[in-house]
Amino acid sequence: MPYTIAIISSVLVYVWFLESVLPRDFVVVPAAIVVGLTIHYDVRHHEWGLSWPAFASGLWRALVATSIMAAIVLGAGVALGTLHDRRDFLGSLAPLVVWGAAQHWVLQTVVLREAQRATSRRRGTVFAAVLFGAIHLPNPFLAPVTAVAALVWCRIYDRYPNIIPLALSHGLGTLAVRYAFDDAITGRLRIGASYLRLDL
């Protein structure tokens, strides 16, 4: 899994060691590395995550799964008394969908496929989801939540390889979390060293 190792290493080095000591604009360097590796892998394997015959089937499955997950998350927010209003739903959703598309392009077309080639179709799905969750450590909320969500997303993509439904699901799921919980629970969705520096 050389591409996956290189991608994860780039992300981890940045979020654990470089983000706090370098200017914010430096994020373009690890981002360029990840994008370059993903493009190189996708060119070699002829998979870009945009199979249009898979779009409709993937979309309704992603929306059903997202509705269930969002209901659980919002219900938990009600039970904990942390459910709150946020303004500009659509304005918040748009960048989250774009960010979700970028993450799923890398996760599905490289990490999932390399994991499946190294193990098996089913085990690779679980392995990719665990890796995705692990990247979100040490956030004790975000790591398990993203691992479970990634398992659902990877299973959908494995059958219906289009990242657009997953990007929409990712955006809606993130908004559900932001509506349902406060920063003390979510850790402001921070990962790596920036999570450890939070003063909540």
Each residue's pLDDT tens digit, 120-156: 999 999 999 999 999 999 999 999 999 999 999 999 9
Each residue's pLDDT tens digit, 75-102: 999 999 999 987 777 778 999 999 999 9
Q: Global pTM?
A: 0.94
Indicate if the pLDDT at residue 200 is higher than 70: no
> What does residue 170 show for φ and ψ, rounded to 5 degrees?
-60, -45
- Contact status, residue 20 vs residue 191, Cβ threshold 8 Å: no
Dihedral, 148, 125, 172, 28 alpha carbons, nearest 10: 110
Share of the chain above pLDDT 90, in %: 93
With tokens 């997202």, the residue in question is 66
> What does residue 67 show for φ and ψ, rounded to 5 degrees?
-60, -40
- How confident is residue 165, by pLDDT bands cut at 50, 70 and 90? very high
